[in-house]
Amino acid sequence: MIPQKLKFIFVVLIGMLTALVGCTRDDPGAGLNNGTPYVVELPDHFPRLPVPEDNPLTVEKVELGKKLFFDPMLSVDGTISCGSCHFQENGFSDPRRISLGVENRPGERNAMALVNLAYAKSLFWDGSNPSLETQAMVPIEADFEMAHDLRTVIDTLRTHPEYPQLFQEAFGKEPDLDGLIKAIASFERTLLSYRAPIDRFEAGDENALTDKQKFGRAVFFSERGECFHCHNGHNFTTELFENNGLYLDYEDKGRWRVTGLESDIGKFKVPTLRNVEKTGPYMHDGSIATLEEVMDHYATQGHPHPNRSPFMTNIELTDFEKEALVAFMRALTDEAFLTDEAFRP
């Protein structure tokens, strides 16, 4: 298995040099204006959707990416797809503590929810990947996920009865790695959650939240609750890395695997709380089963690890405050997102 730090460098280089891995030598700008623009309408409290200049959203790319996302052909034995570990009803996360790859090989961490990733500054629990495009390659080749070879995948796509035409419609060229990763990234970029009760509340509907949820919201955004320091903004995450005192001795050292800094041991990316009611189990290793248990963990301040966040040291909540916080987090559940047929295969 490739060490995490080297894998990060490898992924970035591959993303820059896709022509070396089964790609055509077309002009990198070819196909940029190919297809029908994909229109996204977001509420006022959401920032403009970030889209790379070299991968504008089109209907054709999104549909191709969705087909690839749910196609087990991307795995070496044809048994699993991206959708095998990211379930829509669970906010595109995995309800299992650890996901299973081909031949039931156990993964390393709990699969993160694929929610509003268009806004992500980095990907994976340790932030080891910089973009949706480069991220798309990692699970295909990872030994404990799809365990396939990208060159073989491209060869298979080129001889497939449907994919050559779909790639032509989306990119104006035959299947290649550049198109593969841009298509999957395009679909993932449209997995946008913005229709929860909290969004209606932010838009001015005072009745969108119950009184208990409003109280929980007040605790959430107060120095008493401390939650907002790490979970804020339209996506309820700072995108930073924190140690929340989950362990005294971390078997998985988190961000350290990328930076090598002792100060990063036990730090993991702060996840979005959108649809958090549906994305359990929680933490990087899925070690906490319920939101109530998550509240208990934070109320006890966790283990006194040297890198533990300073925001973990002053949390003393009553039982009612913990209940209200859980109620508020349930107001972040976007039922429309969890059932939207546009995201189904």
Residues marked active site are found at 145
d(CA 62, CA 38): 8
Q: Please classify residue 49 by burial: count the beta carbons closer than 10 Å to its beta carbon, then call 0-12 exposed, 13-18 middle and 19+ buried.
A: middle
Phi/psi at 256 (nearest 5 deg)? -55, -35
Question: If we measure between CA atoms, which residue out of 221, 148, 214, 145 comes closest to residue 180?
Answer: 148
d(CA 196, CA 118): 18
Q: Is 220 strand, coil or helix? A: helix
Phi/psi at 204 (nearest 5 deg)? 115, 0
* Per-residue DSSP letter, 39: P
**Residue 289 CB contacts under 8 Å (≥ 6 apart), including other chains:** 280, 281, 282
Q: Are 278 and 270 in contact (CB under 8 A)?
A: no
Q: Provide the angle, in degrees to the nearest 10, between the axes of the packed helices 319-330 and 211-220.
A: 100
- H-helix or E-strand spanning residue 166: helix 163-171
**Residue 296 CB contacts under 8 Å (≥ 6 apart), including other chains:** 322
Q: Can you spell out the DSSP letters for 139-161?
A: HHH-TTTT---HHHHHHHHHTSS
Q: Are 184 and 82 in contact (CB under 8 A)?
A: yes
Question: If we measure between CA atoms, which residue out of 55, 53, 26, 37 comes closest to residue 172?
Answer: 26
3 state SS for 242-273: EECCCCCCCCCCECHHHHCCHHHCCEEECCCC
